[in-house]
């Protein structure tokens, strides 16, 4: 069966993270409802009406999981919290739900207390392996 839309992909590496994600420029150009609908369309995502979501590996894949929450502020997203580990391809699917790559994002590493650009975040998340 050929890999499609992230299903059946064997990751080249995993990203490990606990981050608060925000739009680099405020306000975020994505609403809670738009992000909610987009996340609901990602294969394997389970999402609750309050914006909490969960995504995990499929049987036969290396084990991984991501959980998170969408937080709104008026009409737009305020931030997204995500933690866990996953292949980079699956993280990209989640980030597209909140407007990436058109929307520049910043990543606050919760435990480290540092604010990173996307490139810095990806480097830090890979180095935790």
What is the per-residue pLDDT across 51-68, written as a single tens digit (0 to 9) for each? 999 999 999 989 999 999
- For 79-127, write each residue's pLDDT tens digit: 999 999 999 999 999 999 999 999 999 999 999 999 999 999 999 998 7
- Of 62 and 9, the structure prediction assigns the larger pLDDT to 62
| Of the candidates 34, 16, 35, 31, the residue with the CA atom closest to the CA atom of residue 107 | 16
Q: What DSSP state is assigned to residue 7?
A: B
Residue 57 placed within a domain:
yes
Across the range 60-78, mean pLDDT stands at 94
Pull the structure tokens for residue 99.
């407007």
Is 2 a member of any domain?
Answer: no
The predicted pLDDT at position 129 comes to 53
Structure tokens at 69: 């929450």
CB neighbourhood size of 6 (10 A): 18
Classify residue 19: in a domain, yes or no. yes
Q: Is residue 77 part of a domain?
A: yes
In a domain, 33, yes or no: yes
Task: Quote the domain boundaries for residue 79.
Answer: 14-127
Q: Which two tokens stand for residue 73?
A: 């502020």
pLDDT confidence of residue 13: 76
**Cβ of 36: how many Cβ atoms within 10 Å?**
20
Q: Give the global pTM.
A: 0.87
Can you give the pLDDT at residue 5?
Answer: 41
Report the pLDDT value the prediction gives residue 127, as an integer from 0 to 100: 73
Residue whose entry in the numeric block shows the structure tokens 């369309």: 41
Q: Residue 30 and residue 109: Cα distance in Å, rounded?
A: 22
Per the structure, how many domains does the chain have?
Answer: 1
Q: Is residue 6 part of a domain?
A: no
User: Within a domain: residue 8?
Assistant: no
């Amino acid at each position: 069966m050929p890999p499609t839309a992230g299903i059946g992909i064997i990751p080249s590496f995993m990203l490990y993270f606990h981050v608060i994600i925000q739009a680099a420029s405020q306000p975020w150009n994505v609403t809670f409802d738009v992000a909610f609908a987009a996340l609901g369309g990602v294969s394997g995502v389970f999402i609750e009406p309050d914006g909490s979501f969960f995504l995990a590996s499929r049987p036969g894949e290396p084990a991984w999981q991501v959980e998170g929450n969408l937080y709104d502020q008026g009409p737009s997203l305020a931030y997204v919290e995500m933690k866990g580990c996953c292949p980079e391809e699956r993280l990209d699917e989640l980030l597209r739900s909140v407007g990436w790559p058109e929307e520049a994002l910043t990543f606050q590493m919760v435990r480290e207390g540092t604010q990173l650009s996307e490139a810095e975040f990806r480097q830090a998340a890979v180095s935790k392996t």
